[in-house]
Amino acid sequence: MGQQWTASRIPDQTGKRIIITGGSGGLGLETAMELAAKGAALVLAVRNANKGKQAAVQINQRYPQAQVEIMPLDLADLNSVREFAELYRSRYTSLDILINNAGVMIPPYQKTKQGFELQFGSNHLGHFALTGHLLPLLMATPHSRIVTLSSIAARTGYIYFNNLDGRIGYRAGKFYCQSKLANLLFAKELQKRLNEAGADTISVGCHPGIANTNLVSRGSGKQAIWPVRFVWGLFSQTAAFGALPTLYAATEPSLIGGEFIGPDGPGSRKGYPQHDISFEHKVNYGTAAKLWKVSEELTNVHYDFTSAHQTEE
């Protein structure tokens, strides 16, 4: 990998269709901006339609030719996830890149529409279901990819199979770490299964290091109080920098699937994107397979790998 990969090195994306969950602010919007600059046709999958429209306006002000569509998606409601996928499939016959970007971070104890703990339910199960619904379309699109955002928090994550919903105790930070480890394990297990199916679709995980976004609002959508923003600002990199691992994971031609991309600085907190092997000790394929099975049961979404676009031998 060359030194200091930046957004200027993104290949031309003309003709590619890309879905970004949570594309109306923070890392998602930065990611959308850079992909729009390279000619991609974007679908921003957002919970808040007004924020989505504002994001589309911002992108079109900077890149008047950009194709940006807003579609409603609430990852905390599996019915909404299914409806989003159905709507997308009714409009389009291909999907080049799915970026599972949206996330909630350390909210007070809340449940999703189907009764899951909010962070595990939105960050992991919502994206697991979404990817499953869109998989046939992805696999029918040559050289497609699925990018799933994890976090530096995955390092201290653990999957509490006996307490996934927080019923026997909830700590917001601990459950955030669990959801982000789940994202990492999902990205890895998905690649394993794509390989077994002989698909040329790839799955790549990534994390932004510590990026200065509004995730610190604890899921409220409101701005965090200024002392929190100030301290966070000291330790974090800009959202534009934080988006680089996602953009690299989504567009770098040399990736073969299964990589985990993060910043190259100390502790993976800041810097330019690289293949981050410092999380490998967290990848237990037994746990990943068990999580997959549990996720299929909880969401009632079963992956179909038979529509594979076979790789050339």
Residues annotated as catalytic (active site), given as ranges: 176
Query: Which of 94, 95, 104 has its CA nearest to residue 172?
Result: 104
Write out the two tokens for 177: 């770490």
Is there a contact between 237 and 212 (Cβ–Cβ < 8 Å)?
A: yes
**Distance, CA of 156 to CA of 152 (rounded, Å):** 8
**Distance, CA of 14 to CA of 5 (rounded, Å):** 20
Half-sphere exposure of residue 200: CA atoms within 13 angstroms, side-chain side = 12
Is there a contact between 207 and 187 (Cβ–Cβ < 8 Å)?
A: no
**Distance, CA of 14 to CA of 226 (rounded, Å):** 40
**Distance, CA of 189 to CA of 246 (rounded, Å):** 19
DSSP, collapsed to helix, strand or coil, labels residue 168 as coil
The phi, psi pair for 137, rounded to 5°, reads -70, -40
Is there a contact between 31 and 246 (Cβ–Cβ < 8 Å)?
A: yes
Please report which helix (H) or strand (E) contains residue 7, including its range.
Answer: none
Radius of gyration of the chain (CA): 18
Write out the two tokens for 21: 């969950």
**Distance, CA of 71 to CA of 90 (rounded, Å):** 13
